[in-house]
Structures are given as structure tokens and as C-alpha cells.
Chain A
């Protein structure tokens, strides 16, 4: 069966520090991968998605970047965090072209920038 792992679960970082959140998927190959952000009490905002190694699509201009160094690994990064980067970050995967199956989400990372 397929599983998705996301870590860390909680992170408190000072303003100006770097960020690295990691997401890995097991049990499938060539998944589509996604990073979403959810501000407190708000909906989900798509940040990045990837349909293959090295292929990253950015949805919003921001202080963040994403990379996919391996088929089932997706990394969200920042060189210098801003207060506005605080939020709940969710990684998700889906089967390519099998859109009926929707997404499967990781357990999320709660990021607080102080």
C-alpha cells in the first residue's frame, strides 16, 4: 500500500532562518506531488506541484521554493523565512492521469516563524 511521510510535524524558526520540509511517498512510482499551505482558519493554497523529477510548477510568487531530487521525494525550502510564512504545510500525492482518486495527504507540518 502507498504511504506518505512528512516531517517535521512541528517547527519553530526565527525570522531570516532557512527552511527545509521534506515529504516522501512509498509504494508507488512517478507520483504527482504537491505542497499546500493552510493559514489559520483558512482554506488550502497550492504552492507547488511536480509531475516528475526536476519538474516544478509554482503557483504563487513567494519566499519559498520546491525541489524534487528523487522520484518520490519532494522538498519545500526557503533561504530566509518571513513572519508571513507561518502556517500549516501539507504535502500530497496523486496518481498521474488517474484523477478520480484525488489526493492523499501527509500529516502536515505546523510552522511558526518568530
Chain B
């Protein structure tokens, strides 16, 4: 079974600075998808960014980008120009390309933005 590990329970960053959240995963599959979800205090889960494993190019969405290292099974999220609204729990998630329909989540990283 696939597992997703987020080794940083909490992180903090000064407003306007850059922060990187770590995520590693364990799988024997070669084709899969990776996601970062954000859960602000409202607890609504919001998709931030996604990556297809067969694509070498790292995904970017405005201030959010990923560093996908397939061989190392690493999928970190970089937030540039951090804003107060970025304060949230961030969850990394894995989904098989073939096989079952489930999304496996990490335990999350709580990000605090320091004004």
C-alpha cells in the first residue's frame, strides 16, 4: 500500500518570504498523481496544485510550485511571496493512475504566516 509522509508538523514563515513544505511517498508504481491540498481555518479542503508522475516538468500555479523528484519519491511544495491568507494546514496526497480510486493523504503541515 502507498504511504505519504509529511515530516514537518508545523512550519512558519515571514510574510512575503518563501517557504517549502516537504512530502515523501512510498510506492512501487510508475504512474501516479500527486496533489497538495490546503485546509484553512474554515476547514474547506482546497486543491492547490497537482503533478503527473510521468511529467518531468514541475507544476506551477501562480505563487505555488512543486519540486518533484520521482527517483527520490519526493514532492515538496514551495510557496513564494507568502501571504497571510496562506496560513492553513497543507496536505500532500497520492493517487494511483491505474488500480483503485482512492486518494492517500499525509498527516499535514500547519503553516503559520508571521506578519
Chain A residues with a Cβ under 8 A of chain B: 32, 34, 38, 42-44, 46, 49, 51, 88, 90, 92, 94, 96-97, 99-100, 102-105, 107-108, 110
Chain B residues with a Cβ under 8 A of chain A: 33, 35, 37, 42-47, 50, 52, 91, 93, 95-97, 101-103, 105-108
Asked whether B50 lies within 8 Å of A102 as measured between CB atoms, the reply is yes
Also in contact, A105 and B52, with CB within 8 A (given A46-B102, A99-B33): no
User: What residues of chain B lie closer than 8 Å to A100, measured between beta carbons?
Assistant: 33, 50, 52
Asked whether B52 lies within 8 Å of A102 as measured between CB atoms, the reply is no
- Interface SS, A side: strand
> In angstroms, how far is the closest chain B Cβ from the Cβ of A28?
15
Asked whether B35 lies within 8 Å of A49 as measured between CB atoms, the reply is no
